[in-house]
Homo-oligomer: A and B are copies of this chain.
Amino acid sequence: MQLLRVNMDRLTVESQDLGDAYGSWAGRGLIARLLSDEVPAACDPLGPQNKLVVTNGLLAGTRTSSAGRLSVGAKSPLTLGIKEANAGGVMGDAMARQGVRAIVVEGTAPTESLYLLEIGAAGARLLPADDLRGLGTYAVAAELLQRYGDKAALACIGPAGELRLPLAGVAVNDREGRPSRFAGRGGMGAVMGAKNLKAIVVLPDAPGDAPIHDMAAFREARKRLNEALRSNPVTGRLFADLGTAMSLDIVRALGGMPICNFSRGDSDGELPYFTGDGFRQLIVDRGGEGTPTHACMPGCAIRCSNVFPDSEGTEIVGPLEYESLVLLGPNLGLFDVDQIARLNYLCNDYGVDTMEAGVALGVALEAGLASFGDYEAIVALLDEVPRGTVVGRVLGNGATVAGRVLGVTRVPAVKGQGMAAYDPRAVKGFGVTYATSTMGADHTAGYVMGAQVDHHSPVGAAQLSRKTQVLRAALDTINLCAFVMSALMDKPDILPDLINAVHGTDYGPGFVGELGEAVLASELAFNAAAGITVLDDRLPEFMRTEALPPQDVVFDVPQEELDSLLRTDCESSMQITGGTP
C-alpha cells in the first residue's frame, strides 16, 4: 500500500511505499507513529509544522463488514494534543481500492487559494478549488459528485474549516452521497483548512479490491466474523432496529442524559421520542426512505444508521445520531426532534462537529447569550460560526475557550474538548475516559456503556475505562467500527486471523490488547511532549461538587485512580508479538 505525501508549499503529490516502518500500521496507530516521527509536538496546530493524516484501516477495501472507517488525525487545535477522529462513509474503502493507505498533507499553501486533491487510477494531483470557497458541505458534495460521478468518494470541509475554527470537522460522504459522516472531533477540519485543502476526491476507477495475502484463510475468517455479528443480539438486531438511539434508554435509566448544559440528567416530563423505540417509531411512522436504519459503509452487516424525515416523510438530515440528538437537543433545552434535526443539518453543512457545537452552545446559553429552549435564537447563534463573527469565533473555538471568554465555570469539557452526551456523574466509567483519554472528553476513546456493571458506582470504573481505552485504540487502528465490539469480546482470534490473512502477519489472540497499549503509549508520549500533564486529566470541578438531578449523583472516582491509570502499564509495552505493528 502507498502513502501519498501532499506538499502544500510546493503543491506536489508524491507516492511512496509504506515500507517496513509503517507497512502494517494504519488508522489511529499510523497517525500516532507519523505524528511522533514528523511533527514537533509543541508546534502551532494551525501552522505549517503540523501535518494532517488521512488514513484507512488494516482491512479496508477487502469487503470485510464494518472495516472501512476513515481516520483523520493531526495535532489538535482544540485539545492541543494528538487527535484521531474517524468516520464511516465510503472513503476508507475507496482509498484502499486505489492502493492508498494514507494521505499526509504537509506545509501550507503559498497563497490563499484553495485546493482539491484528486486520487484515481491515473495517480493523484492537486487542483485549484477556489470555486468551492465558502460552500457548505452539501453544496461541495453536490458539485463534486456531479463532476466525478455519484460513485466518487469524498472528504471535505465547510466554511468553519476554511475559517480554521477548532470545532470544524471533516465530512465524508455516505453511499447515497450525503457528506454527513463526520470525523468530527478535535478540529481536524480546521487543520485541513489551515492547509488550504477544501476537499479530497477518490475516483471510482480502481482496478479492484485491496490485495489479500491468503484468500482462503481470509474467507474463512470473514465468515466467522459475519456469523459472530449475525448471532449477537446487539450487532445482529438491536443496532439495525434502534440505531445509536438505543443509548437513550440506558442513559435515561441512569439519569445521565445532559439537559441544559449538563445541569440535569433527565427531564421531569414525558419525552416520548427520547427512547429507543419511540424514536424508531417516529421515523417508521413518517415513512421516510432508509428507515429505520441503513448502512453508512458498503457491506456493513450492522446497519445502525438512520435517515430522519419530517412529518411529510421528506429527509431533514441523515443520520441523526444519539450524540447529536442529545447535545443539540436537551442539552440546549430543545425537545422538538425536528428542530434538533435541522440544527444537525446546519452543523453538517457548516462543517462543524455537532458535539462540540452542542456543548459550546450550552455554555453560551448558560452565559446568557440566548435562552435554553429558544430555537430561533440558538439557530442565530450557530449561524454566527460560518460568518466568522467574533461571537462565531468564540463558539468556534469550542466549549472551553467559550467558557473562559464568557466567564462560565460550569464547562463540561476536558483538555479543551466538550464531553459526549453521557454525564459522567451518572456513568462513572465515562468520567474516567473523559478525564484520562489522550483525546480529551471523548466517548469513543473508551466506551464503557456496554459493560454490565453498576455505572453509578465508582468501584472498578477506572479499570473498566482503561480496558475499553486499550480496546478502542486497537479497533481505531484496524479501523473496524467500534460497534462490532460486543460480538467479538469472546472471540479474540477472529481479528488477528483476518489481519494475518490479509497481511501475512502472525499475530496471536493477544494482538488487540498489545496493539492498543502500544498506540496509547505513543499518544501519551506525544501529549507529554506537547505540554499536557497529569493535571489535564481532570474533570471540571463542578462535577465533583454539584449533584446531578434527578438521581443526585456526583463524580466520585478518586483522582489518584485517574492520575496513574494510563501512565503505568502502557509505556512499557511497545512490543507486539507476531509482526509490526
Residues on A lying within 8 angstroms of B by beta carbon are 42, 44, 46-47, 163-165, 369, 390-391, 393-394, 397, 401, 404-407, 409, 529-531, 533, 535-536, 538, 541
Contacts and interface: CB of A to CB of B under 8 A. Distances in A.
Contacts of A42: 535, 538
A393 B404 CA distance: 9
Contact of A407 (B163, B405, B409): B163
Contact of A393 (B405, B529, B531): B405
Contacts of A538: 42
A390 B369 contact: yes
Contact of A390 (B391, B397, B535, B541): B391
A530 B406 CA distance: 22
29 contacts: A42-B535, A42-B538, A44-B409, A44-B541, A46-B409, A47-B409, A47-B541, A163-B407, A164-B407, A165-B407, A369-B390, A390-B390, A390-B391, A390-B405, A390-B406, A393-B406, A393-B407, A394-B394, A394-B405, A397-B404, A397-B405, A401-B401, A401-B404, A401-B405, A405-B405, A529-B535, A531-B533, A531-B536, A533-B533
A441 B369 CA distance: 33
A190 to B, nearest CB: 10
Contacts of A46: 407, 409
Contacts of A533: 531, 533
Contacts of A44: 409, 541
Contacts of A541: 44, 47
A211 B478 CA distance: 75
Nearest to A190: B407
Contacts of A407: 46, 163-165, 393
Contacts of A391: 390
Nearest to A384: B390
A524 to B, nearest CB: 15
A263 to B, nearest CB: 18
A157 to B, nearest CB: 15
A471 to B, nearest CB: 29
A394 B397 CA distance: 12
